[in-house]
Amino acid sequence: MIELDVAQEKVLQAVQQAAPVTVPLSDAYGLVLAENIVSFEEVPHFANSAVDGFAVRAQDVANIPTTLRVVDEIAAGGIPNVAVGPGETSRIMTGAPMPSGADAVVMVEDSTEGKTPHEVILSASVVVGQAVRPRGDDVRIGDVVFRVGDVLHPAAVGVLASINVPRVLAVPRLRVAVLSTGDELVDDGSPLALGQIRESNRTMLMGLVTQAGCVAVDYGIVRDNEEALEETLRTAAAECNAIVTSGGVSMGAYDVVKALLGRIAQMTWMQIAIKPAKPFAFGMLDAPHGSEAHRQVPIFGLPGNPVSSLVSFELLARPALRKMMGHAPVQRPSLLAVADANFLRKTDGKIHFQRVVAKSHNDGRIHVAPVSQQGSHQLAASALANAVAVLPNGEGVAAGGEVRVLLLSDLVEGA
The pLDDT value given to residue 279: 93
Residue 40 has pLDDT above 60, yes or no: yes
> Per-residue confidence at 42, pLDDT binned at 50, 70, 90?
very high
Distance CA(158)–CA(163), nearest Å, equals 9
Task: Kindly state the average pLDDT of the residues 78-106.
Answer: 98
The pLDDT value given to residue 108: 97
Are the beta carbons of 382 and 325 closer than 8 angstroms? no
Task: Kindly state the average pLDDT of the residues 61-66.
Answer: 96
The per-residue pLDDT for range 325-369, each reduced to its tens digit, is 999 999 999 999 999 999 999 999 999 999 999 999 888 899 999
The pLDDT value given to residue 291: 55
Residue 414 has pLDDT above 70, yes or no: no
Q: How far is CA 381 from CA 116, 161, 378, in A?
A: 71, 43, 6
The pLDDT value given to residue 89: 98
Residue 69 has pLDDT above 80, yes or no: yes
The pLDDT value given to residue 294: 73
Share of the chain above pLDDT 90, in %: 80
The pLDDT value given to residue 380: 64
Distance CA(307)–CA(207), nearest Å, equals 14
Q: Taking all residues of the chain, what is their mean pLDDT, rounded to a whole number?
A: 93
More reliable by pLDDT, 255 or 95 = 95
What domains are there in the chain, each with its CATH number? 4-19+172-324 (3.40.980.10), 21-43+138-171 (3.90.105.10), 48-133 (2.170.190.11), 334-413 (2.40.340.10)
pTM: 0.89
The per-residue pLDDT for range 214-235, each reduced to its tens digit, is 999 999 999 888 899 999 999 9
Task: Kindly state the average pLDDT of the residues 51-73.
Answer: 97
Angle (CA) 240-383-395 rounded to 5° is: 105
The pLDDT value given to residue 249: 73
Residue 290 has pLDDT above 70, yes or no: no
Residue 301 has pLDDT above 70, yes or no: yes
Q: Residue 168: beta bridge partners?
A: 23
Q: Which of 167-171, 194-198, 201-205, 385-389 has the highest mean pLDDT?
A: 167-171
The pLDDT value given to residue 254: 53
